[in-house]
Structure 1
């Protein structure tokens, strides 16, 4: 039987009888290699990831997660954890081993009186927005509605509200987590505060978060949308963007990108989101809208969930993706020139060079206050290659690597790890800086055997 191909991490086969016994204890469903929907179940957003787990445990609740963790631990299986399945590095999957799949656990429970929201580990940003918007609330998470809340938040989480309200992890009140031993813990400022510190930006190293409790903000509609200029204006637009954002109120988050329009025209775009008073927002945005003037100005008042979906079409399912990113302390003319040079070398109309400005709330939290240490370097330079034909992979990946290498001399030495297709160990260590040693201590306490290793992995060794 195909099921007997499942092996432990030391190469020992796992018998079909043990697998059947495990399946019988799940309220959800165990998907195996022989099942007709196996290939569909292992498919994730990034088509460049082609891994074949031995089992996929689609959990319906916390009891299923605990059951799966204990089975994997007892049989020494490699474990991957799937939330939204939108991580560019494909950490939702592993070869052989078992995927503990939370994608059916998408509940969102809003408490309007306290402005708090409980979100299950498989929920997407779209799931969250749909429920909070009913109450005129929003949680600061991400920019693409298909993104999983869990992976985004555990890696820090930046989005349309970041300058005013901080990172996604800065807005978490508590985490419900299943440990490597199969225990259910709550991590907050009052309970397991060391674990609470580590989960805010330390990635999926410490357990499986089955539920997040967030603080929500009173936001229903925003003034936002895309402004587009011709590609040959890239240098001018990026310099204006830099100078404009340097004094822009924190209610405004705006990102710039060299991209290709849907009709195939190379362009430079700025996408903005104003979350404050609409009249004041119109006044603040006026110079940005007037500059150029642009070929397209689509700024308008819209519900926040609509803002969250504006970029969904730019990241369709089934494309191949390879990303890297670097933080830079300032958007100097030299860096802008590099952006323009490498942006004009893009090999795919789906690719982009992205500039994200985070100045504001994220920088007012010290690096020691949470595991997310990538604070202070206000600009993130994203290099996102996206293509359709797998035969073209080498040329698109080479473009990203060349651009990344060109930016390294100008980098702060830290990187947004959620944006990395292949973060090397030294990149992970550098990105956590002085927090790495403390993270290793928390890892040693809650996961000493590195049971959870398919992530931005923290070694328990501190050398």
Structure 2
């Protein structure tokens, strides 16, 4: 174990130039700073470096490397696997790095690594612009973008990573590089889907698109008895969606807090209002919903409409896989499994891929999942510790029963911390060997491994 004096002396030396906060276990603010979104994750870093700028990031990384301590990187949001923290190591926390600069003439935005989607959307929507971002506004831009970036605009504008123009990165040897199609093009390719394996992303430049400020969308909720016809309707309707519309389905519990099981569709149409309302008529006309909240609303409001369902500190355990089919047997299995859900915060979510996200060649970015289809998520979430065993068991059992309907691919951003086999290889498919070679070039000793790790290979 590292002598306490060594870390104390190194931290004291770094503090003479560090603009942010250096927190050790005995310091005020440490207990709050060490907590991550998922209440199941309870780790105690030796040092939390809450960075205020890129020089802080480079300095804290140098400290960790000199002392031989493991490094975890924390952005501005949350990750279900809790890989943004580490026992006994150094957490490089970027959550104070909130700078955003929007250029409405060029239709671009530059944002630092601690920004959340809600914060970025607020700034870009001042100019009637947006980029595909998370469906929960408290999600950080860094983790979501580096691992993929599903969102309400992906049918029209692709994933968050498809809209990247450049990434500012602190590499394992402490260098600050700009990666784009013109500079470090192999690294830029890898960053678009390769997660946090290649360095610490301190800044992102995105292409923006005209969106809003008013869009049409929201949830529509049906009784659980209508789950089968509703999911059949969802399957059939998603075969002909316009690019401007994104449509998800869920078996969940009523948002009024009653715990009543329900079936729901959640949608966003980012096109002209008249076209959006015409496109959403079949959804609004289907059967007899318990609640219809689909309508005109600010894009910023729509982007935050699910936030309350994902409170900080709740216990989370997820399992996810792409579906090869959404046939009748898959639908029946989902309904049967959801009937056994032991928590009123649990849900089964089906996210539909289509449009621009499916037109990009799988080899154009590290993210290979470019076929039209569905991503399936078993979302176990609860608030009381005594519910842990039952909720984890339900999540695992549901995932196991859905195995016959799974495709080979996995969505990196939803993978939990105890995945069997090699989920990272499944997340990258044929792109994995190239990612391993790029990893060997930029991080040959695998400094950045407290993540869904790509092992370096020559």
**Same-fold call, TM cutoff 0.5:** yes
In structure 1, the partner of 2:422 is: 426
- 2:221 is the alignment partner of 1:228: yes
Matched, 1:22 2:18: no
Structure 1 residues 77-116: aligned runs within 5 Å: 77-116=69-108
SS state at 1:228 partner: strand
Alignment of 1:307-322 (within 5 A): 307-322=302-317
| CA shift for structure 1 position 377 | 5.5
The corresponding residue for 2:359 is: 364
Q: CA contact under 8 A between 1:227 and 1:294: conserved in structure 2?
A: yes
Q: How does 1:4-43 map to 2 (within 5 A)?
A: 7=1, 14-43=6-35
1:298-313 correspondence to structure 2 within 5 Å: 298-313=293-308
Provide the aligned length of Structure 1 versus Structure 2: 454
Q: Which of structure 1's runs of 4+ aligned residues deviate more than 6 A?
A: none
Task: Show the 5 A alignment for 1:129-208.
Answer: 129-208=121-200
**Cα drift, residue 18 of structure 1:** 2.1
Asked if structure 1 preserves the Cα contact closer than 8 Å seen for 2:164 and 2:206, the reply is yes
Write the deviation string for residues 242-271 of structure 1: whole angstroms up to 9, x where unpaired: 101111111110111011112221100111
Is the partner of 1:433 in helix, strand or coil? helix
Deviates more, 1:426-435 or 1:179-188: 426-435
Give the TM-score normalised by structure 1: 0.96
CA shift, 1:384, in A, is: 0.4
Match runs of 1:266-345 below 5 Å: 266-345=261-340
**CA deviation after TM superposition for structure 1 residue 153, in Å:** 0.3
**Does residue 438 of the first structure (1) align with residue 430 of the second (2)?**
no
Q: Which residue in 2 is equivalent to 1:4? A: none
CA contact (8 A) 1:81 1:92 kept: yes
> Shift in Å at residue 12 of structure 1?
9.5
SS in 2 for 1:436: helix
* Alignment partners' CA distance in 2, 1:328 and 1:139: 26
Gaps in structure 2 of 5+ consecutive residues: none
Task: Give the CA deviation at 1:22.
Answer: 2.0
1:438 is paired with a residue of what secondary structure?
A: helix
Tell me the CA shift for residue 102 of structure 1.
0.4
Identify which of 70, 74, 89 aligns with 2:66: 74
Which of 384, 388, 391 is equivalent to 2:386?
391
Distance 2:90 2:78 in 1: 18
TM-score normalised by the chain length of structure 2: 0.97
Quick check: 1:329–1:376 contact (8 Å CA) kept in 2? no
Is it true that 1:56 corresponds to 2:52 in the alignment?
A: no
2:236 match = 243
**Within 2, Cα distance between the matches of 1:104 and 1:299?**
35
Structure 1 residue 454 and structure 2 residue 447: aligned? no
In the alignment, the residues of structure 2 paired with residue 406 and residue 438 of structure 1 have an alpha-carbon distance, to the nearest angstrom, of 33
Structure 1 unaligned residues grouped into runs of 5+: 1-6
**What's the counterpart of residue 342 of structure 2?**
347
